Chains A and B, each alone.
Chain A
Amino acid sequence: QLQLQQSGPGLVKPSQTLSLTCAISGDSVSSNSATWNWIRQSPSRGLEWLGRTYYRSKWYNDYAVSVKSRITINPDTSKNQFSLQLNSVTPEDTAVYYCARNSAEVSTMTDWGQGTLVTVSS
C-alpha cells in the first residue's frame, strides 16, 4: 500500500526558502507510471497545484506559472523521495502543503501525503 510521509519545518521567515520532503513507500519515485506532485491549500487560493516531477527514461519537471521563478521539485532516488523548495517566500505562501502521486493509469491524484501547515512569518 502506497504511503507518502511529509516532513519539513512549519515556520519559515519571509524572504527565506520553504523546504519540504515527501518520502515514498510502496512505489518508486522512478516509476514510469506515476508523477509526483506538490499542491497547496489556503483559504485565499483554495487548492493550487504547484508542480511535479516524473521519470520517463529521463527526469522531467512541470511548474505552475504562478511560482515558476521560485520553485524547484527534485527527486532523490537514493532515498526514494522528492522535495519541494520555494524561494523568497512571503506571507501569501502560508498554506497547507501536500505531496501527491498522480497515477498514469487513472491520470489523476490517487494518493496524498498528510499535509504540512507552513506559516510564513517573522
Chain B
Amino acid sequence: DIVMTQSPDSLAVSLGERATINCKSSQSVLYSSNNKNYLAWYQQKPGQPPKLLIYWASTRESGVPDRFSGSGSGTDFTLTISSLQAEDVAVYYCQQHYSLPLTFGGGAKVEIK
C-alpha cells in the first residue's frame, strides 16, 4: 500500500495570509505513460463529506477558487491557500489515486490565527 504522510497536523494562519500543507507518498505516484501525478486534495468541513479541490496534483476542480493551488511531483506535494479566507477553515487531506488501495493522508487542520 502507498502510505501518505501529511505535515503539519495543524496550522493557524492569519486571514489573508498564505497556508501551506505538505504531503509525501511512500512511492512515486507519477504515471510515466501520461506524465500525470495521481494525487488529489480534499477539503472537509465538520459534518460534511470531503470535497474534491485538486486532482492530478495541480488541476483545480470546477468551481474551486483560484486561491487554492497544488504543486509537486513524484513523492512530494504541496497544497497552498494563497490568501486564507474564513470559509477555508477545514481539514485538508491528500489522497493518491495511482493504485489500489486508494489511500489518504492523516489530514491537516487549518485554523484562523
Contact = CB atoms under 8 A, between A and B. Distances in A.
B52 A108 contact: yes
B65 interface: no
Given A106-B56, A107-B38, A108-B40, A114 B49 contact: yes
A108 B55 CA distance: 7
A89 interface: no
Interface string A77-114: 00000000000000000000010101000111110111
Interface string A22-44: 00000000000000010000000
B93 interface: yes
Interface of B: 38, 40, 48-52, 55-56, 59, 61, 93, 95, 97, 100-104, 106-107
B49 A112 contact: yes
A49 B102 contact: yes
Contacts of B101: 49, 64-65
Given A47-B104, A49-B102, A64-B101, A109 B52 contact: yes
A75 interface: no
Interface of A: 37, 46-49, 62, 64-65, 98, 100, 102, 106-110, 112-115
A62 B106 CA distance: 23
Contact of A46 (B52, B100, B106): B106
A49 B97 CA distance: 11
Contact of A107 (B49, B93, B97, B106): B97
A102 B106 CA distance: 21
A106 B104 contact: no
Contacts of B59: 106
A8 B56 CA distance: 34
A106 B93 contact: no
A108 B95 contact: yes
A46 B94 CA distance: 12
A106 B64 CA distance: 15
Contacts of B49: 98, 100, 112-115
Given A46-B106, A46-B107, A47-B93, A110 B100 contact: no
